[in-house]
Chain A
């Protein structure tokens, strides 16, 4: 993969570069502020941009804004946003264009390197990856809603994993059940929540997230 990294702290920037190189990916550019990120995204058109939310010059949410701005110009440009804090407000903004190819994760998740690289590949392939913290907060907030109350514990587990953006195969691996069982659960979930069925993994994730945020 061809990767662009935006992270202002040298320590973490080098760490990310090393991880990608260890997995045989090509780091096109590793920038440290929002304007250079903006330029790098337009000139390199990377397969994936890994972006820290907080960047110079203002040290607020520059990274997030730049990523959203770039996706407006280049629809579906794959972006994975990393942050020390996950905010539902930001998750909502990232997902609002419904184009997929976005990820939003806590920086801690990088420690589980295999999983992190898996998430990066998923976003690069047009998938959606949401941090479990965001999903848990969404589920927690809506847990009292009638449609969600009718879900069985198994279905809730599948729903949570699906909202994080995991594929049916990945969910099956996590829950030690067959893929067929997963797709049966997910069909039930869609019927109970009154959502449109779709064969495509990412479309389903986006539908579920939109439902949970609604």
Chain B
């Protein structure tokens, strides 16, 4: 995903209830109602700015408004995400390269910007029917609950018509109004949460990316990972070709030469024996190189035993003590298996070569989504080395992350300076 279409803030489900939460919502209602007015103003300024662009003043105004609107919408996305318990994605496409003016043009042409604009207008009305209504219920509740007191302390004729159409006379009737006040308060108390959720849902309907925008972002991401996967495959093939050419093929040529020479000197047994010994050494060398090459393409133990056995074999071959914990209830698809294996193998190499690890812990676990065959493969490689590993240095971990991306996989590193390091990988997949 491009950086600009990530999530806004940590969205956590608000699970609190009771009076405290109600008053929190009340504060939100006040802020949101004020914000909706501000939003309408912002929208008008923005449209005015765009209209004034030909007259010079409009340009800075539009720029400012565009930035402000996005910030404003992001804050609302965050609030609605927290209300609903699921984060709301930003619909904005990555900013194209170029100067600020072309970027602005692109921003103004983007459907997401106009959806923001539509939301500002819609919100200036809808917010009053949700958060505003909640606020009015609360204020009315307190006003009518205190009505007898108001009547008592104010001069006559000031508070006589609580609902604007029938007058009240005497204490009994004011008490009835106070009763109505507590009905309002109860209505506020029970409707605060549903109204806030309704408001959040209205926001979500206009502030999330459209299906089309989501598809566009996905296509962009797939295009990028496909290009990387194709590149990686091509360079892998080049490497194999080079290794064969410089290694096994060269050795077989020298083997042929030796045998040819042996034919020539057949009458000198000593020379023949020497040449044959050399020929055998060439054969052994060629086999050695082919073995290493094949291990780099697809380790036989992976084909034989799947990821479980292959990771065990990796741990056995590792020069530092390595504990392995694998929980996979079945066999993974071969491409996923291979990607996971090489990711673990390279992470191990990093841990030993660069971090000076003395102990490594590998855990691999497949968790199934309830009621489906697909799930997620989670891999953790932890070491006690001196830390400081990063993804963004174009180094080994960066390469692993890129290759996992082709499978929609992710890689995160937690590696403070001084260690310990924990590399976590995740691959969505299905058991075969």
Residues of A that sit less than 8 Å from B by CB: 54, 60-61, 84-85, 87-90, 92, 107-108, 111-112, 137, 140-141, 144
Please, how many angstroms separate the alpha-carbon atoms of A60 and B301 in the complex?
8
Question: Do A85 and B291 form a contact, CB below 8 Å, given A54-B300, A108-B284?
Answer: yes
**Nearest A residue to B309 by beta-carbon distance?**
A89
B319, A141: Cβ atoms under 8 Å? yes
A89-B319 contact, Cβ under 8 Å, with A108-B287, A111-B280, A111-B284: no
B287, B291, B312, B318: the one contacting A89 at CB < 8 Å is: B312
Other-chain residue from B283, B303, B317 in contact with A88 (beta carbon distance below 8 A):
B317
For A61, the chain B residues whose CB sits under 8 A away are: 304-305
Nearest first, the 6 closest Cβ-Cβ pairs linking A and B are: A61-B304, A60-B304, A88-B316, A89-B313, A108-B287, A87-B301
Specify which chain B residues have a CB less than 8 angstroms from the CB of A140 in the assembled complex: 319
Knowing A54-B300, A84-B300, A88-B313, say if A111 contacts B283 (CB, 8 Å).
yes
Question: Bound state CA distance, A84 and B299, in angstroms?
Answer: 11
Smallest CB gap from B290: residue in A:
A84
Contact yes or no, A60 B291, CB < 8 A? no
Set of chain B residues within 8 Å of A112, measured between Cβ atoms: 280
With beta carbons under 8 angstroms apart, the residue of B291, B295, B304, B317 that contacts A137 is: B317
Contacting residues, chain A, for B295 (C-beta < 8 A):
85
Contact surface of B with A, Cβ cutoff 8 Å? 280, 283-284, 287-288, 291, 294-295, 300-301, 303-305, 309, 312-313, 316-319
Complex contact B284–A89 (CB within 8 A): no
- Chain A nearest CB, measured from B404 CB (Å): 25
Q: A88-B317, A144-B319 are in contact. List 12 more A-B contacts (CB 8 A).
A: A60-B304, A60-B305, A61-B304, A84-B291, A85-B291, A85-B300, A88-B313, A89-B301, A89-B316, A111-B284, A140-B319, A141-B319
A54 to B301, CA, bound (A): 11
* A60 and B312 contact, CB distance less than 8 A: no
Q: A89-B309, A111-B280, A111-B284 are in contact. Are A60 and B303 (CB under 8 A)?
A: yes
Q: Chain A contact residues: over half helix, strand or loop, or mixed?
A: helix
A61 to B305, CA, bound (A): 8
Q: Write the nearest CB–CB distance from B369 to chain A, whole angstroms.
A: 29
Name the residue in B288, B295, B300, B303 with the highest tally of chain A Cβ atoms < 10 Å from its Cβ: B300
Contact B317 A141 (CB under 8 A): yes
A87 touches B284 (CB 8 A): no
Please measure, in the bound complex, the distance between the C-alpha atom of A135 and the C-alpha atom of B284, giving whole angstroms: 18
B316 touches A92 (CB 8 A): yes
Residues of A within 8 A of B319 (CB): 140-141, 144
B318 touches A141 (CB 8 A): yes
Minimum C-beta distance from A89 to chain B (A): 4
Contacts of B288 in A (CB 8 A): 108
Contacts of A92 in B (CB 8 A): 316
CA distance A64 to B309 in the complex (A): 14
Q: List 28 A-B contacts (CB under 8 A).
A: A54-B300, A54-B304, A60-B303, A60-B304, A60-B305, A61-B305, A84-B300, A85-B291, A85-B294, A85-B300, A87-B300, A87-B313, A88-B313, A88-B316, A88-B317, A89-B301, A89-B305, A89-B309, A89-B312, A90-B301, A107-B287, A108-B283, A108-B287, A111-B280, A137-B317, A140-B319, A141-B317, A144-B319
Residues of B near A84 (CB, < 8 A) are 287, 291, 294, 300
Which residues of A sit under 8 angstroms from B287, Cβ to Cβ? Answer: 84, 107-108
Contacts of B303 in A (CB 8 A): 60
Q: How far is the CB of B347 from chain A (nearest CB, A)?
A: 18
Chain A residues in 8 Å Cβ range of B284: 108, 111
CB distance from B336 to the nearest CB of A (A): 18
Q: Which residue of B lies closest to A213 (CB)?
A: B316
Residues of B within 8 A of A87 (CB): 300-301, 313
Residue numbers in B under 8 Å from A144 (CB-CB): 319
CA distance A112 to B305 in the complex (A): 30
Tell me the bound Cα distance from A108 to B288 in angstroms: 9
Chain B residues with Cβ below 8 Å from A54 are 300, 304
Residue of B nearest to A60 (CB): B304
What CA separation (Å) do A61 and B284 show in the bound complex?
Answer: 23
Cα A141 to Cα B318 with chains together (Å): 7
Residue ID in chain A nearest B279 by CB atoms: A111
Expressed in whole angstroms, the Cα–Cα distance for A5 and B294 within the complex equals 25
Q: CA A108 – CA B281 in complex, angstroms?
A: 10
> What's the Cα separation between A88 and B301 when bound, in Å?
10
- Residue numbers in A under 8 Å from B301 (CB-CB): 85, 87, 89-90
> In the bound complex, what is the Cα–Cα distance between A137 and B319 (angstroms)?
9
Instruction: Give CA–CA (A125, B309) in the complex, Å.
Output: 32
Distance in Å: Cβ of B191 to nearest Cβ of chain A: 65
Residue of chain A at shortest CB distance from B319: A141
List, in ascending order, chain B residues with CB within 8 A of A60's CB: 303-305
Q: How far is the CA of A137 from the CA of B315 in the complex (A)?
A: 12
Tell me the smallest distance from the CB of A55 to a CB of chain B, in Å. 11
Q: How far is the CB of B254 from chain A (nearest CB, A)?
A: 16
Q: Nearest chain B CB to A63's CB is how many angstroms away? A: 10
